[in-house]
A = this chain, B = another copy of it.
Amino acid sequence: MPTMVDSTVQQWQACIDACLKCMQACEECLSSCLKEPDVQARTMCISMLRDCAQLCALSAQMMSRGSQYAKQLCQLCATICESCAADCEKFQDTHCKQCAEFCRECAEECRKMSA
């Protein structure tokens, strides 16, 4: 990861990394869910993954630029990550289980960062 020139961004690095991992996991998990035979049962999970991926991506961008609104966006991101994790945990496949873990970790980092 880039060497930070700004101490504000530097202290958010763990949260930036968690958001980017969660973004990638959500995008992958959504694509994998669309290939599952029981996609009909996963539509709520798919909707959550769509929101979660975009919130994580924007949160990472806002933190990277040191935005004064990064904390407020990360608070919402934490809420969405928790919901997304709960939806993913309903399914037994590897991508949903892994995605749920990344969502929980991201929610935890977003809560710490915005505390």
* Chain A facing B: main interface SS: helix
Q: How far is the CA of A47 from the CA of B65 in the complex (A)?
A: 9
Q: What 0/1 readout, one digit per residue, does chain A (11-53) give for beta carbons within 8 Å of chain B?
A: 0000010001101110110111011010110010011001101
Residues of B within 8 A of A50 (CB): 30, 50, 65
Q: Are A2 and B31 in contact (CB under 8 A)?
A: no
> Nearest chain B CB to A51's CB is how many angstroms away?
5
- A residues whose Cβ falls under 8 Å from a Cβ of B: 1-6, 9, 16, 20-21, 23-25, 27-28, 30-32, 34-35, 37, 39-40, 43, 46-47, 50-51, 53-55, 57-58, 60-62, 64-67, 69, 72-73, 76, 79-80, 94-95, 98-99, 102
